[in-house]
Structure 1
Amino acid sequence: MNVKVFILALSTVAVGLVELIIGGILPTIADDLNISLSSAGQLITIFALIYAVSGPVLLVLTSKMERKKLYLLSLSVFFIGNIMTYFSPNFTFMMIARVITAMSTALIVVLSLTIAAKVVSPAHRAKALGLIYMGISSSLVMGVPLGILISDKFGWRIIFLGIAILSIGSFVLISIFLERLSGENTVPLSQQLKAVSSLKIGSAHLATMFMLAGHYTLYAYFTPFLETELQLNSSWISICYLLFGIAAVSGGAFGGALSDSMGAQKSIIVVIFSFAVVLFLLPFTTFSLIVFIPIMMIWAALSWSLAPPQQSYLIQTDPATSDIQQSFNNSALQVGISIGSGFGGIVLSQTGTVAHTSWFGGVLIIVSLGCAVFSLTRKTTARENNRATIALQNQMND
C-alpha cells in the first residue's frame, strides 16, 4: 500500500480522537470546569453538529484550493483548537475550541478520503479508503480507554496537548511525503440538496440520524452510567470502553456480512429493531457485570452494523448520486450524535438518573425504525430510475 495512504490514516487517528475521547472523561471535565454533567455533554453535541454542517460547506468553499496546502492549513487550525482546549479556563472558551476543532476535523477527514483515492491506482482504491476508515475506527478502540487512564493519572487536559503534538507529526509527514494536488470542481450545495429531496432517500437519512441519536442518548453519558449503575472504578471503565470499541468495529463487518446474506433492506430492519430491544434491556442487566458485558458488546456491535446495509441501500436506490448520499449520510450520523448527546443531557437533568437515558434512547430508535420502514416501502421515483439507468450505462461503457 502507498505510504501516503498510511500517513493520511495516521492523521485520521489523531482527529478521530478529538471527537470520541471526550465521552469517557466527561465527569472529570465537568468537575474541573465546575459545570453540570448535562452541560459537559453539550461539548459532544456542538462538535457533532458543527462537524455535520461544516463538512459539505467547507468542501465546496475550498474546492479550488490546492489540496496539500489546504490539508496543512486544516492541521494548523486543528492544532490551535487543541491548544485552546488544553488551556481552557472555562466552559465557554472550551466550547469555542470545540467549534474550531470540529470544523478542521471535518475537512481533514474528507480530504484524507479524497486524497487517498487519488494517490493510488483504481485497483487499490477500496483498500486505501478502508485504511482511512480503519484509522477513524481505531481511535474509538484505543482512544477512549487510553484517554480515561491518562486522565486518571495526569488530568484530562494533557490528552488534548498530546493530540496537538500528534497533529504536528502529521503536519511534518504530510509536508514531506504528499505532493501538490490541484483543487477540483465540487457539486454545488443546491445540487447536493436536490439529491436527497425525495421521500425515499430523505427518510433513509433520517433513519441513520435517529439511530445515532438513540445511541448517543446513552453513549454520551456512558461513563457516569458505569459509575452509578455498576459502581465501577476508572480501570474497569477503561476495560468496558475497550471491549465496547472492539465490538463496535467488528459490528461493521457483521453488518456487511448480514447485508450480503439477507439483503440490505431486511438487514436495516433487523439491525434497528435489535438495537431498540438491547437499549430497553440494558438497564436491567446492571445487577451483574457478567450479564452486563455481553449485552453491552451486542449494543456496541449493533451501533456500527447499520452503516454497510444502509450504504448499499442508498447506492442501489440512486447510484448516480452515491457519493453525495454517502456525504449526507455521514452528516446525518453527526447530526444524530449531536441530537442524542443533547437529548441525553436533558433527560439526565430532568430525571436525575442516568439509566433513564437508555430507555429514552430506545424511543428514538423506534422513530428510526419508522423512518426506515417508510423509506423501504416508498417506490423509487422516475428521476432515481433514470439516474440508475445512466449510472449502469456509464459502468458498461467503462
Structure 2
Amino acid sequence: MSRFGIYLLTVGAFLAVTAELMLIGVTDLVASDLQVPISFVGYLVTAYALAFAIGTPIVITLTARLERKKVMLTAFFFFILANVASYWSPNFTVLMFARALLGLSGGVFAVVAMGSVSKLVPPEKVGSAIGTIMMGLSGSLVFGVPLGTVLSGWINWQFAFGVIAILSALIWIGILLMVPVIQGGERTPILQQLAVFKSKRIVSGFLITLFVNAGSQTVYTFLTPLLQKTIQMNTWMISITMFILGVFSMIGSRLGGVGTDRFGVTKIVYLSLIVHAIVLLFLPVFMVSIVTTIFVLSIWMCFQWMTSPAMQTYFVQQAPENPDLALSLNTSLTQLGVALGATLGGWIVNSTSDVMNTTWAGGWIVLLSIVAAWISFVDRTKQTV
C-alpha cells in the first residue's frame, strides 16, 4: 500500500473517532438542546461504545472472507449515513440510535483499516504502521473535538456532524480510487473466537485494554465540566485546551508505535500505564491554574495514547494469521472500557454532585491495568522460555 493510501485510512480513522468524541466538548449544549440531564450525554458515548464493542467482532467474523477494501467502503458508507442522521436528529432517542450506528460502522472501518496495514508492511514495521493509524485516532483530539466545539458554538452541534458527513464522503471516494485490493482471510467461528479466553495471557491482555480505557474515560467524558468548575474555563479556552491535548495525544501515539518497534511491547506498556495512573490520582492537586492544568493534562494524554499502538501490536503478535480478529476483539474491549468509564463517570457525577471525584476513580481503575499487565507479561515470558 502506498503511503498516501495509509494516510487516507488514517484520516478515515480520524473522522470515526471525531464522531465519537465530539460530544465531549459540547456536553452542556447537547443536554440543553435535547432537554436532558448532562449525565445523559455520557450515555450517548456509551451507545457508540457498546455498538462498537458488540457489533464489530460479529461483523468482522461474518465478513472475514470478503475483500477488505469492499468491507471498508461499505462500513464507511453507513458511517456517512449515521452522521447525516445525527445532523438531522430532532430528539435524544433518534440521536441515540444514530450514535449506535456510528459505533458499529466506525468500529468495523477502524479495525479493518488497522488489519489491512498490518498485512501490507514488513513485520518490523507493523508497530509504526499501526501507530500511524492511531495518530488518526488521537488526531481527532487535535482538530476534531476542538473543531466540533467551535462549530457548535458558531452555529449548533448538529452542524458539526454535517461537516463530518461531507468530509467522510470525500475520503470514501479517495479510498475507492487509491487503496489497493486486499484479500480476506478465513472466517473464524464465534466458538473458536471465544477459545482465546482460555489463555491467561490473552485474557489479562484484554483486561489491560479494558481497565486503561475505563479509567481514562471516567475522567475524559466529563472533562469539560471539570475544567469549568475548577479553573472556570470558557468554551473558547476549552477548545484551545482540547487542541493542545490532542497534539500530545498524537505525540504519544507516535512515540508508542516507534517505541514498541525499538524497545518492545512490555517496556512501553508499563511506562505508559504507570505515568497514566499517577497523573489521574494526583490531577486535583495540579488543577490550580490554567498553566498547571494544561501541563499535567498534556502529560496524561501523551502517556495514555502511548499504550494503544503497543497493545494493538501485542495482539497482532498473538494472532499474525488473522490480525483482523485479534484487533477486533481488542478494540471491542477498548470500547467496552469507554462505555464502562462513561457510565461510571455519569454515576459518580449524579451520586456525589462533584465532577472532581471522577479523577481518583479513574486513577484507581488504571492501577488495575498495571496488575493485568504484570499477569499477562509474566505468563508470556514463561511460555517463551
Q: TM-score surpassing 0.5?
A: yes
Match of 1:274 in 2: 275
Match of 2:195 in 1: 194
More displaced, 246-255 or 142-151?
246-255
The offset of 1:236, in angstroms, is 0.7
Question: Could you tell me whether the CA contact under 8 Å between 1:217 and 1:343 is conserved in 2?
Answer: yes
More displaced, 126-135 or 77-86?
126-135
Quickly say closer, same or farther: Cα 1:124–1:155, change in 2 above 3 A: farther
Aligned equivalents of 2:133 and 2:12: distance in 1?
Answer: 9
Alignment partner of 1:13: what SS? helix
Match of 1:84 in 2: 85
The offset of 1:286, in angstroms, is 2.0
Match of 1:142 in 2: 143
Match of 2:186 in 1: 185
Query: Counterparts of 1:146-165 in structure 2 under 5 Å?
Result: 146-165=147-166
The offset of 1:193, in angstroms, is 2.4
Match of 1:293 in 2: 294
Aligned equivalents of 2:239 and 2:185: distance in 1?
Answer: 43
Question: Could you tell me whether the CA contact under 8 Å between 2:67 and 2:182 is conserved in 1?
Answer: yes
Match of 1:50 in 2: 51
Quickly say closer, same or farther: Cα 1:271–1:3, change in 2 above 3 A: closer
More displaced, 217-226 or 360-369?
360-369
Match of 2:168 in 1: 167
Match of 2:18 in 1: 17
Alignment partner of 1:304: what SS? helix
Match of 1:207 in 2: 208
Aligned equivalents of 2:179 and 2:85: distance in 1?
Answer: 28
Aligned equivalents of 1:256 and 1:101: distance in 2?
Answer: 27
TM-score (normalised: structure 2): 0.88
Aligned equivalents of 2:164 and 2:322: distance in 1?
Answer: 33
Fraction of identical pairs, as percent? 32
Quickly say closer, same or farther: Cα 1:135–1:311, change in 2 above 3 A: closer
Quickly say closer, same or farther: Cα 1:130–1:299, change in 2 above 3 A: closer
Question: Could you tell me whether the CA contact under 8 Å between 2:46 and 2:340 is conserved in 1?
Answer: yes
**One-letter code aligned to 1:201:** I
Q: Does 1:304 align with 2:305?
A: yes
Match of 1:350 in 2: 351
User: 5+ unaligned residues in a row in structure 1: which ranges?
Assistant: 389-398
Per-residue deviation, residues 309-367 of structure 1 (Å, max 9, x unmatched)? 44565567x46678354443222222111110110000011011111111111121222
Quickly say closer, same or farther: Cα 1:107–1:266, change in 2 above 3 A: closer
Per-residue deviation, residues 78-132 of structure 1 (Å, max 9, x unmatched)? 12211111111211111101111111111222333344456x5759974655543
Aligned equivalents of 1:243 and 1:154: distance in 2?
Answer: 23
**One-letter code aligned to 1:110:** V
Aligned equivalents of 1:83 and 1:228: distance in 2?
Answer: 33
Question: Could you tell me whether the CA contact under 8 Å between 1:137 and 1:249 is conserved in 2?
Answer: yes
Question: Could you tell me whether the CA contact under 8 Å between 1:4 and 1:116 is conserved in 2?
Answer: no
Query: Counterparts of 1:1-398 in structure 2 under 5 Å?
Result: 1-116=2-117, 122=122, 126=126, 129-178=130-179, 183-255=184-256, 264-311=265-312, 318=318, 323=323, 324-378=325-379
Alignment partner of 2:186: what SS? coil
Quickly say closer, same or farther: Cα 1:190–1:30, change in 2 above 3 A: same
Per-residue deviation, residues 160-210 of structure 1 (Å, max 9, x unmatched)? 011111122123333444566554423333323223421222112112211
Superposition RMSD in Å: 2.9
Aligned equivalents of 1:238 and 1:12: distance in 2?
Answer: 21
Match of 1:393 in 2: none
More displaced, 173-182 or 7-16?
173-182
**One-letter code aligned to 2:113:** S
Aligned equivalents of 1:201 and 1:13: distance in 2?
Answer: 28
The offset of 1:237, in angstroms, is 0.3
The offset of 1:299, in angstroms, is 1.1
**One-letter code aligned to 1:346:** W
Question: Could you tell me whether the CA contact under 8 Å between 2:151 and 2:157 is conserved in 1?
Answer: yes
Aligned equivalents of 2:221 and 2:22: distance in 1?
Answer: 10
Question: Could you tell me whether the CA contact under 8 Å between 1:33 and 1:90 is conserved in 2?
Answer: yes
**Structure index of larger Rg:** 1
The offset of 1:232, in angstroms, is 0.6
Question: Could you tell me whether the CA contact under 8 Å between 2:111 and 2:327 is conserved in 1?
Answer: no
Aligned equivalents of 2:88 and 2:341: distance in 1?
Answer: 28
User: 5+ unaligned residues in a row in structure 2: which ranges?
Assistant: none
Aligned equivalents of 1:104 and 1:133: distance in 2?
Answer: 17
The offset of 1:43, in angstroms, is 0.9
Aligned equivalents of 1:30 and 1:376: distance in 2?
Answer: 43
Question: Could you tell me whether the CA contact under 8 Å between 1:256 and 1:308 is conserved in 2?
Answer: yes
**One-letter code aligned to 1:375:** S
The offset of 1:259, in angstroms, is 5.7
Question: Could you tell me whether the CA contact under 8 Å between 2:131 and 2:258 is conserved in 1?
Answer: no
Question: Could you tell me whether the CA contact under 8 Å between 2:213 and 2:334 is conserved in 1?
Answer: yes
